[in-house]
């Protein structure tokens, strides 16, 4: 006759801690539950067979794990549930920059090193940038890294290219790009919008300092700072609303009609983009370093400064909390059932956040972590203004650089393109009269200019 005892506790801010204990002895299952520190209530059930008792015990435990209970030691409090980490890339410096798409995971550290990792944990490309990477963001087809040298690099080709140059005395805290328009927030709380020609459109004070959050969409720029969150019109920087929050903003996310601000006071605030009204509050147990959501905002994730990760439903109910085992997440992103973290201990980790994996982790079963090997990774590539030559224009789009007053512009000269539209193109490789071959160009969503993508070569 087999025996099994499982003791769980549930602790949520603002509620009385509760316990739940299941004791199974053969075909008998005894459940005791109630407030921690009290005797609780007991209920015993006799089953026809031991197999049915085992199944009932598993069902009861899974229900409690789903409700947020975690394994604990009576009188000593909960044991932290380990995150079901699938793979981990260690040995990198302190890491802020992280972006994930359907093909790759990008991570950038404070040494300026960027790794491009496939979803199976193998490294496909590596770059070394002149400044420490603050953040990595995407704008449709394009992926950008904002660095401490005041530049933003396009990582879409074999070689990183300078896409935007920000004032040298600006300490970038975060950036976002929407349809070629770059929003930048900095240490002083200033926010700036820069267009596709790398020319500043407007700059505004946010009302606070330490602007760790900036998010852009077609109509607004949303800045999170020491005093809350502010919205500005994307066209001209006119202030639209400013919402004070009881804790400095440390990270921001946007999804649909909402923006999310993770704060020092251990909360993630969901704000309506149109009004700035706080719609929902998600409460963590320590300062929030980063946050993210599933597409549509059905699940909200947060990471605190105590190396824990949380999940909430849309209404604010906490679903689970796990320990990363490798530091606190400065950045995070959800993608296709997995949560990717860039941590304070210099690691990028991939966590399985499926319901099955979290239930197994709550029961003490986690997968064997695969460590990403970098020894066989490709050689590191650094930015350069030297271009490879192309003898034929058959495989790509031809661009030409010309002078317009004191400025150098680039336009498409291949047939089928509007010759009056300028092309977003790296400024540090522009030479008047030179023709270039690029993989392709795409029109901006709002029209008026093209955006070059892929590798760039000089036509002979």
pLDDT tens sequence across 156-165: 889 999 999 9
**pLDDT, tens digit, 9 for 90 and up, residues 128-155:** 999 899 999 999 889 999 998 889 999 9
Which one, of 79, 69, 73, 81, lies nearest residue 17 by Cα?
Answer: 69
Vertex 458: Cα angle to 437 and 143 (nearest 5): 60
- Say whether pLDDT at 14 is over 80: no
**Structure tokens of 227?**
């005093």
Lowest mean pLDDT among 22-36, 76-90, 107-121, 302-316: 76-90
pLDDT at 372: 87
**pLDDT, tens digit, 9 for 90 and up, residues 349-360:** 999 999 999 888
Q: Find the mean pLDDT for residues 44-53.
A: 93
Q: Does residue 51 sit in helix, strand or coil?
A: helix
CATH entry 2.130.10.10 includes domain 85-380: yes
pLDDT at 79: 66
pLDDT at 450: 97
Residue 77's pLDDT band (cuts 50, 70, 90): low
Higher pLDDT: 37 or 124? It is 124
pLDDT at 6: 87
CA–CA distance from 419 to each of 264, 399, 411, 437 (Å)?
50, 10, 6, 16
How far is the C-alpha of 145 from the C-alpha of 111, rounded, in Å? 13
Residue 282's pLDDT band (cuts 50, 70, 90): very high
pLDDT at 33: 96
**pLDDT, tens digit, 9 for 90 and up, residues 373-415:** 877 788 999 999 999 998 888 889 999 999 999 999 999 999 9
Do residues 410 and 417 lie in contact, with contact meaning Cβ atoms separated by under 8 Å? no
| Residue 126: other Cβ atoms inside 10 A | 16
Q: Find the mean pLDDT for residues 329-344.
A: 95
**pLDDT, tens digit, 9 for 90 and up, residues 239-255:** 999 999 998 999 999 99
How far is the C-alpha of 68 from the C-alpha of 87, rounded, in Å? 25
Residue positions counted in the chain: 460
DSSP label at residue 145: E
The mean pLDDT of the chain is 92
| Residue 109: other Cβ atoms inside 10 A | 20
Residue 62's pLDDT band (cuts 50, 70, 90): confident
pLDDT at 78: 64
Give me the percent of the chain exceeding a pLDDT of 90: 73
CATH superfamily of 3-78: WGR domain (2.20.140.10)
- Say whether pLDDT at 74 is over 80: no
- Say whether pLDDT at 76 is over 70: no
Residue 364's pLDDT band (cuts 50, 70, 90): confident
* In the chain, domain spans: 3-78, 85-380, 388-459
What is the CATH number that goes with domain 388-459?
2.40.50
Give me the percent of the chain exceeding a pLDDT of 70: 98
DSSP label at residue 195: -
pLDDT at 377: 82
pTM score, two decimals? 0.82
Which one, of 170, 174, 213, lies nearest residue 188 by Cα?
Answer: 170
Lowest mean pLDDT among 173-182, 207-216, 374-383, 402-411: 374-383
**Highest-confidence segment of 89-103, 316-330, 426-440:** 426-440
């Amino acid at each position: 006759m087999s025996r099994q005892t499982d003791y769980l506790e549930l602790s949520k801010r603002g509620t009385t801690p509760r316990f739940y204990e299941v004791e199974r002895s053969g075909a008998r299952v005894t459940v005791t539950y109630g407030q921690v520190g009290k005797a609780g209530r007991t209920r015993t059930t006799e089953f026809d067979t031991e197999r049915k008792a085992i199944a009932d015990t598993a069902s009861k435990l899974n229900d409690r794990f789903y409700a947020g209970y975690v394994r604990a030691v009576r009188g000593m409090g909960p044991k932290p549930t380990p995150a079901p980490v699938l793979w981990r890339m260690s040995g990198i410096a302190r890491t802020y920059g992280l972006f994930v798409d359907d093909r790759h995971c990008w991570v950038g550290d404070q040494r300026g090193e960027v790794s491009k990792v496939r979803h199976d944990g193998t490294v496909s490309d590596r770059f070394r940038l002149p400044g420490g990477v603050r953040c990595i963001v995407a704008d449709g087809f394009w992926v950008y890294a904002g660095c401490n040298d005041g530049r933003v690099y396009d990582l879409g080709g074999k070689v990183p290219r300078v896409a935007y140059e920000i004032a040298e005395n600006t300490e970038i805290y975060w950036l976002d790009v929407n349809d070629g328009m770059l929003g930048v927030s900095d240490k002083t709380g200033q926010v700036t919008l820069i267009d596709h020609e790398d020319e500043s459109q407007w700059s505004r004070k946010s009302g606070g300092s330490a602007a760790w959050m900036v998010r852009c969409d077609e109509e607004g720029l949303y800045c999170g700072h020491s005093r809350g969150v502010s919205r500005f019109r994307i066209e001209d920087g006119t202030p639209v609303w400013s919402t004070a929050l009881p804790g400095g903003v440390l990270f921001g996310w946007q999804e649909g009609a909402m923006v999310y601000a993770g704060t020092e006071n251990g909360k993630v605030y969901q704000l309506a983009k149109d009004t700035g009204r706080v719609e929902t509050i998600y409460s963590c147990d320590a300062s929030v370093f980063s946050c993210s959501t599933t597409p549509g905002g059905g699940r909200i994730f947060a990471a605190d400064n105590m190396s824990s990760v949380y999940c909430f439903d849309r209404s604010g109910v906490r679903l689970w909390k796990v320990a990363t085992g490798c530091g606190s997440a400065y950045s995070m992103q959800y993608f296709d059932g997995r949560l990717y973290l860039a941590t304070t201990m210099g690691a990028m980790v991939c966590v399985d956040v499926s319901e099955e994996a979290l239930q197994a982790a709550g029961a003490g079963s986690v997968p064997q972590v695969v460590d990403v090997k970098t020894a066989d990774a490709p050689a590191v590539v650094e930015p350069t203004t030297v271009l490879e030559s192309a003898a034929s224009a058959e495989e790509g789009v031809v661009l030409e650089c010309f002078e317009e007053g004191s400025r150098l512009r680039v336009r498409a000269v291949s047939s089928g393109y509007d010759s009056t539209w300028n092309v977003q193109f790296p400024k540090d490789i522009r030479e008047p009269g030179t023709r270039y071959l690029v993989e392709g160009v795409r029109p901006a969503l709002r029209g008026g200019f093209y955006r070059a993508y892929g590798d760039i070569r000089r036509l002979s």
